Amino acid sequence: MTDAENTAGHMPAHASENTAETRREFLNEVAAAALGIAGLGSVVVTYQYLAPNVLFEPPTSFQAGNPDLYPLSSVTFIEQQQVYIVRTVQGFYAVSAVCTHLGCITQWKPEVNQIACPCHGSKFTMEGTKIEGPAPAPLPHFAISLTPGGELLVDKLEIVPANQSLKV
Band the pLDDT of 35: cuts 50, 70, 90: very high
pLDDT of residue 51: 86
Mean of the per-residue pLDDT values of the chain: 85
pLDDT in tens, 114-167: 999 988 889 998 888 899 989 899 999 999 999 998 899 999 989 898 888 888
Residue 95 above 90 pLDDT?
yes
Q: Can you give the residue ranges of every domain in the chain?
A: 3-50, 61-160
pLDDT of residue 17: 55
Residue 150, amino acid: G
Report the pLDDT value the prediction gives residue 103, as an integer from 0 to 100: 87
- Return the pLDDT at 55: 76
**Direct distance between the N- and C-terminal alpha carbons of the chain, in angstroms, rounded to an integer:** 112
- pLDDT over threshold 60, residue 88: yes
Contact residues for 12 (Cβ-Cβ < 8 A; gap 6+): 1, 6
**What's the confidence (pLDDT) of residue 24?**
87
Q: Would you say the C-alpha torsion 68, 72, 137, 104 has a positive or negative sign?
A: negative
Class level of CATH domain 61-160: mainly beta
Whether the CB-CB separation of 104 and 139 falls below 8 Å is answered with no
Q: Is 70 exceeded by the pLDDT of residue 20?
A: no
Report yes or no on whether pTM surpasses 0.85: no
**pLDDT attached to residue 60:** 84
| Cα maximum dimension of the chain | 115
Neighbouring-strand partners of residue 141: 95, 160
Has residue 79 got a pLDDT over 60?
A: yes
